[in-house]
Homo-oligomer: A and B are copies of this chain.
Amino acid sequence: MLHIVESQQFTVPIIKELFERADTMKEIVARGGTRDYEGKIMSSLFYKPSTRTRFSFEAAMYRLGGKVLTTEHALDFSSEIVGEKLEDTIRIISTYCDAIVLRHYKEGGAKRAAAISNVPIINAGDGSGGQHPTQALLDLYTIDHECGAIDGLAVAFIGALDYGRTVRSLTYLLSKFEDVKIYFVAPDELQIKSDILEHLDEKGIGYQLLNSAASIIGKVDVIYQTRIERDKLYNRHIDLEQYNINIDVIRKMKEKSIIMHPLPRSVEISHEVDSDHRAAYFRQTANGLYVRMALLAMLFDSNK
């Protein structure tokens, strides 16, 4: 493993190794971290600001004992403004550090960076329709831990799915497992794009497109809720209520099911849901730390 660019690159054996390492990282964090990667430097190169994602990676690096170079808004604060190419920036920054976490504003940014870099590139989101593979891996890790397995699960994605980077990335991962069933719940105009459905057809994964979650709330194991912009629905005369998770919705869910969300949330999950044991989104966030620690450690170890 040289770079982390997209979900597709992960095989089931590598995913299993990653999850085992993440379990170990959880124990390490409980003991106050390690010093094993003390000499390592990670660069956070965020062309679009995201304090949460950036802090998650940087905390992971710190818990491993390493150090962090950081820019929270490279587009404003760098030579991008004088027209430097991403490739030049990466060649230069890769001489200062041992790994680069890149959030780029264009789809394909991470792939371009990986082609030129002599240190590992980690895609922390590229473009609005691109990928966010480390989010997908922490999502999958959460599902595995909360549900005990991934094979055989029924997962519902709800929200504006057309440009959902996390939904796209997680679907690629789910398609590697057995007997998974996926429901895409969205207004027609905001449904998941056809390239994802073609991928599922190829893999023989069952799925269904729905406009409402009502019929499947009681039978899915995982509800993966995503952000819905109020304006987007309002402009299309779509009732937001249909896509909102509140206390009434959660009462219809299976006792052993979970609700996930990549966060930040807006109005699509009511705060009254937070205290229910099925609300897994804050546990999901916490898992991000362990999964990112494991990914960084695997990259450093395989680039030794």
Q: Which residues of A are interface residues toward B (Cβ below 8 A)?
A: 32-33, 39, 41, 43, 45, 49-52, 54-56, 58-59, 62-63, 67, 69-74, 76-79, 82-85, 88-89, 91-93, 95-97, 227, 263-266, 271, 282, 285-286, 289
Q: Whole-angstrom distance from the CB of A49 to the nearest CB of chain B? A: 4
Interchain CA distance A88-B265 in the complex, whole Å: 8
- Provide the residues of chain B in CB contact with A45, threshold 8 Å: 51
| Alpha-carbon distance A171/B74, docked complex (angstroms) | 31
Q: Which residues on the B side are within 8 Å of A67 (C-beta)?
A: 62
Complex formed: what's the CA distance from A88 to B43 in Å? 26
What are 13 residue pairs bridging A and B, where the CB atoms are less than 8 Å apart in the complex?
A: A32-B39, A41-B59, A49-B77, A52-B78, A55-B96, A58-B69, A70-B70, A72-B77, A84-B263, A88-B263, A89-B264, A95-B282, A95-B289
**5 shortest interchain CB distances as A-B pairs:** A49-B77, A84-B264, A32-B39, A79-B264, A59-B96
In contact, B88 and A264 (Cβ under 8 angstroms):
yes
**Is A33's CB under 8 angstroms from B39's CB?**
yes
CB-CB < 8 A to A71: which residues of B?
A: 51, 54-55, 72
Selected from B69, B85, B91, B286, the residue in CB contact (under 8 A) with A59 is B69
Q: Do A92 and B263 have beta carbons less than 8 Å apart?
A: yes
In the bound complex, residues from chain B placing their C-beta under 8 Å from that of A59 are: 41, 69, 96-97
A39 CB to nearest chain B CB (Å): 4
Distance in Å: Cβ of A255 to nearest Cβ of chain B: 24
Chain B residues whose CB sits within 8 angstroms of the CB of A69 once the complex forms: 55, 58-59, 62
Contact residues in B for A85 (Cβ distance below 8 Å): 271
A62 contacts which chain B residues (CB < 8 A)?
41, 67, 69
Q: Give the CA-CA distance A88 to B41 in the complex, in Å.
A: 30
User: A62-B41, A71-B72, A264-B84 are known contacts. Are A78 and B92 too (CB-CB below 8 A)?
Assistant: no
Are A83 and B266 in contact, with the CB atoms below 8 A?
yes
User: A51, A70, A73 — which one has the most chain B CB atoms within 10 A of its CB?
Assistant: A51
In this complex, the member of A49, A85, A92 whose beta carbon has the largest number of chain B beta carbons within 10 angstroms is A92
Q: How far is the CA of A85 from the CA of B51 in the complex (A)?
A: 14
Taking A286-B95, A289-B95 as contacts, is the C-beta distance between A265 and B84 under 8 angstroms? yes
Indicate which residue in B56, B63, B79, B286 contacts A51 across the interface (CB closer than 8 Å). B79
Q: Which single residue of chain B is at the shortest CB-CB distance from A52?
A: B92
Residue of B nearest to A77 (CB): B49
Contact B32 A52 (CB under 8 A): no
Contact for A43 among B39, B55, B83, B282, CB less than 8 A: B55
Inter-subunit contact A56/B96 (CB<8 Å): yes
CB distance from A8 to the nearest CB of B (A): 27
CB-CB < 8 A to A54: which residues of B? 71
Given known A50-B79, A62-B41, contact A55–B93 (CB-CB < 8 A): yes
